[in-house]
Structures are given as C-alpha cells and as structure tokens.
Amino acid sequence: MGAYDAVIEIPRNSKIKYEVDHGTGRVFLDRILFTPMGYPTNYGFFENTLGEDGDPLDVLVLLDQDLMPGILAKVRPVGVLKMVDEAGGDDKVVAVLAKDPRWAHIQDVDDIPEYTKNEIGHFFEHYKDLEPNKWVKVDQWANAAEAERLVSEAFVRFEEHEGETRTQGEGESPNTLD
C-alpha cells in the first residue's frame, strides 16, 4: 500500500466546514454545519486527484489529534466509506498516518474498531439532514485494496483532466475578445 499527501481542510470535532481554494491555496469558510455534531475525523483531500464527483478525492484521517486546516499529512489508505449524495458518488477514503507506529496495526477496514466505523457512518448519514435539498446515502464499507484503487484512479483522472485543460488552452489568449 502506498503513502499519499493529504491536505487537511477540517479538524476532527469541528462543525466548521473549511475548504481549500485550489486556485490560491487559501483556506476559506464554506459553511457551519446545520446539524449539532462535528466531523468524527480529520477531513481533507488527496492532492492532485479528482474523484468521480469532479472534486479532489476525499480522505478521512483517523487520528486522536486535531490537525490544522491547510497542513499536508502523509497518509496510508485503509478503507472506504461508499456513499452518494445529491450530487452523485461521494466516497470517503479512510486513512491513517503513514509512518506513525501507533496506527501500524490498522492495515485494512476490518482493523478499524466497529464503534469508530459506526460513528463515521452515523455522522455522514446525518450531517446534511437540516440543509434544504441535500441528502446522503451511506452504502457500505470497502477494504484497503478498494481504497488504493480509488486513489490510483483519482490520480489518473486528475492527469487526464489536466491534459485536456492544457490541450484546450493551447493557442488561446485569456485576454482575447471575440
């Protein structure tokens, strides 16, 4: 299993949904959750990836410390929470710090305590409950091999998208008037 860079957007236990502006790299306030609960893990995305929803692939980092928004953490995928929301597929890869011996025993989704998985599933089933026209359906947990596959595909999707963007932009000036 590989180790990948994850950009943390939201600390564990926070009700504040921060996002990183991918153009500037700055962290901004997206919204405060409408429900009275905080994120059960540190939350972010894998750098240089695109998920099926067109956003960078989401990652939940299991850790007993709160990480600051904007930091980069080297993580190792151990499972996936398969889910969909009003915008389509929105899987959450679950990961641990790649080189932290306290998390070395977590190698696959079955190594994650059942209660921890229940907390994570419950949060994502309900965190949009009070938001108009939003919904989430949590499907199932998948293993580390599936997590690795999703991350690999997201890197490829990012590269293909970047290639298309460069090809479309060749010979065009952003300051040209039609």
Q: Got the DSSP string for the chain?
A: ---EEEEEEE-TT--EEEEE-TTT--EEEEEE-SSS---SSEEEEETT---TTSSPPEEEE--SSPPPTT-EEEEEEEEEEEEEETTEE--EEEEEETT-GGGTT--SGGGS-HHHHHHHHHHHHHTTTTSTT--EEEEEEE-HHHHHHHHHHHHHHHHHHHHHHHHHHTT--TT---
Summarize the annotated binding site for Mg(2+) as residue ranges: 9, 53, 58, 85, 90
5 is catalytic: no
Per the residue annotation, which of 21, 66, 90, 91 is the catalytic one? Answer: 90
Summarize the annotated binding site for substrate as residue ranges: 17, 31, 43, 127
Summarize the annotated binding site as residue ranges: 9, 17, 31, 43, 53, 58, 85, 90, 127
Please give the positions annotated as active site.
Answer: 90
